[in-house]
């Protein structure tokens, strides 16, 4: 897909949803960080169910540490890999308090030193909590970028870097959400809903719907 078509894709996504929102529930950058750590290999719905009770009793690093690892597990047991995630979250809370005054860092380098935080998690936090034009490539973004021809790549990092080069600057801040939502509800993995797709005439997917 050339840059002109790429720009048109995001112009249409913007027109349809000017202020896209993520589907994780949170009340602070810290809560967003914890929710994103929990969301690895889990649905946003399952994370929201767990954090509804968790954040009610432990909304801060201090409160979560007071809850303890076993107390945390009691809230997140329904989420996959909950024991490993609980260990990482407790360790992250310690580091936030010891190294960052209890605040979530606003840069990738510091974020990626926290247990359980990789590039994708850091990108989500930087984008949603701090408004930075980062682009987290999850399974939905990776699929949409490759299937449509927006930014074909063999790895998430490859796709991320290509997208950042190709997406016009005014659209970069919200591109993460537009692509995730498009992949989740329209450009689905098993059966993409091409007839309902607002960019189908620009898409390079061989099986796309034809008018």
Which are the catalytic amino acids? 120, 138
Residue 204: which residues within 8 A CB-CB, separation 6 or more? 1, 148, 149
For the chain, the three-class secondary structure string (H helix, E strand, C coil) is CCHHHHHHHHHHHHHHCCCCCCCCCCCCHHHHHHHHHHCCCCCHHHHHHHHHHHHHHCCCHHHHHHHHHHHHHHHHCCCCCHHHHHHHHHHHHHHHHHHHCCCCCCCHHHHCCCCCCCHHHHHHHHHHHHCCCCCCCCHHHHHHHHHHCCCCCCCHHHHHHHHHHHCCHHHHHHHHHHHHHHHHHCCCCCCCCHHHCCCCCCCCCCCCCCC
Q: Are 106 and 125 in contact (CB under 8 A)?
A: no
């Amino acid at each position: 897909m050339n840059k002109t078509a790429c720009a048109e894709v995001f112009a249409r996504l913007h027109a349809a949803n000017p202020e896209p929102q993520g589907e994780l529930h949170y009340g602070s950058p810290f809560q967003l960080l914890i929710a994103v750590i929990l969301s690895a290999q889990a649905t946003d719905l399952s994370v929201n169910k767990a954090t509804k009770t968790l954040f009610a009793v432990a909304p801060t690093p201090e409160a979560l540490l007071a809850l303890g690892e076993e107390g945390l597990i009691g809230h997140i047991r329904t989420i996959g890999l909950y024991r490993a995630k609980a260990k990482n979250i407790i360790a992250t809370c310690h580091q936030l308090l010891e190294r960052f005054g209890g605040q979530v860092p606003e840069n990738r380098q510091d974020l990626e030193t926290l247990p359980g935080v990789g590039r994708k998690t850091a990108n989500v936090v930087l984008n949603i909590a701090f408004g930075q034009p980062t682009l987290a490539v999850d399974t939905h973004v990776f699929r949409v970028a490759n299937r449509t021809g927006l930014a074909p790549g063999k790895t998430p990092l490859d796709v991320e870097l290509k997208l950042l080069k190709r997406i016009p600057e005014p659209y970069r801040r919200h591109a993460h959400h537009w692509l995730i939502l498009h992949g989740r509800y329209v450009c689905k993995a098993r059966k993409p809903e091409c007839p309902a797709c607002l960019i189908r005439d620009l898409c390079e997917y061989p099986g796309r719907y034809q008018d």
